[in-house]
Structure 1
């Protein structure tokens, strides 16, 4: 094991210790976690009635075997937490390699991401958030390689990651407009060349066809099939548990208030100051964007898109996954001293202000009043 791998492994051990601390004696923290545990038990018993709940069949299919092995919800919680640690490692490895960070900087980046308040909390429940970040990290890496080395192979690899994401959670549908924007910005014609579009389409619809046949064989009513779940999410006529109807609610300041109240102020400061501080890096070579520009497009597009929808803290996972590597990699490349200062400020903020405890023991609003 070389120095880079060893330091990253040690950093991830620290992250794992934070994620797993006290988890064995903790109950499932929210309604979604409890509901997911119930559905996993149903799927393990062969009942597929709620397999497509939240458009996340892959999540339930992955965790069902742990029930067969006799695992209770604590086991599944621990496995899900370790998935979140793997997500941190994947994201740090990708950014560290592409930004050419040193071994110590890559390990610091893993600690920087892994100690984020929201990602820590969401890595201790039993929802799709941990898997979302892991698959999203894979999609980020694969599509960045498609932009840097355009070929059918890199394009189809990115399509596979998108297919896995859509199978894991319906929120990956929100990445499609961003990917389309990248394709239009790149304008290299790769998607439309030599039948690539049909291959991408076939990859994306494959799980719908396979699980559609499974649904038909299981005798599920049409309203329980995968496309019908999407229709129900979009055309929701009855209030959900938070009392919301529909999916649209414009509020451009929701996540700004969320970051102010529950996250380190460094994240909010990054989103506000980065376009000014790094304007040269952000707006050059847009057809083949550098890493900072690439992560910025993802982060700001998510922020803009989520501002149009009904808000929930879970949407912050995506923004955090983009903004923190962006902040730390940019600082590591251009401001090495500030890079380490940022991480220590983040740590001191969490310790001194008690933001982690504040987040974990308060019931977060679904919509800002």
Structure 2
């Protein structure tokens, strides 16, 4: 069946996505994982939370990413005195017309950069929750949908505690990915100095909203084998009942396991990563590559684990190491078998054992 997508084959899509990622890398030194995960979030139609100390190029990465992908972009700096109408819009009285008009806020764009999102109070967080979950806002009894594609990329600073409102669990769960942004390595720091101290490079647009919508459809059609789907479910179940998966020591560590949104997020993120790598099927390695960023922020650790400074990412790494994945069995004689109806036949489709 011929592809309905304007982007053509998976190899062509992968080349296009690789070119877009390379354009962001012209500006951002290192941080390959963060840039790739931003693209995964976009293809999977999910939101992304970046956490790192100040000055590690979180905001610059998002600005460069929005430029490369095309579409409209706005940055909202979250502060403790922010109110919901500052971000979603409000009703304004026009005396000349003797009626109220709706003035839409800065979030009606394709890319919203919510800078230091944990600085805003509860009312703003609730407005963001509707925006992220429903991709719409309600003003004056009317509902206004956001543009398509729409993605919220938020940043937060993990070291400050003064004037900060920690994100509630419900809102953290709305983020498909939470990416930890580390300090650059020594050679990368030198490259930052060399590249940014003269004339900083800029990125050029590669994609546009129509192309992005086509790529998102293509990512949603990437084939997931039943055994890979079962592996994803086992990973999530292991966070809820670790003793059943030979990890009784994690029972006291994990207070609340991952929600079903983690299961859906693992499938969506794995499909997006497979498309970036030019495949139209998901491998267990795709699931393992996104597991930490999809699951860590959805875990609630017990008091003792928090007191012992056990990071959630370490718990997820342990679960991924302990839950056995299915093994791909390559059989070139069964080309295209196992794909669902309407799926393009794959060049080398693996079976699993």
Normalised by the size of structure 2, how large is the TM-score? 0.32
Higher Cα Rg: structure 1 or 2? Answer: 2
TM-score by length of 1: 0.31
The structure in which a higher percent of residues are helix is: 1
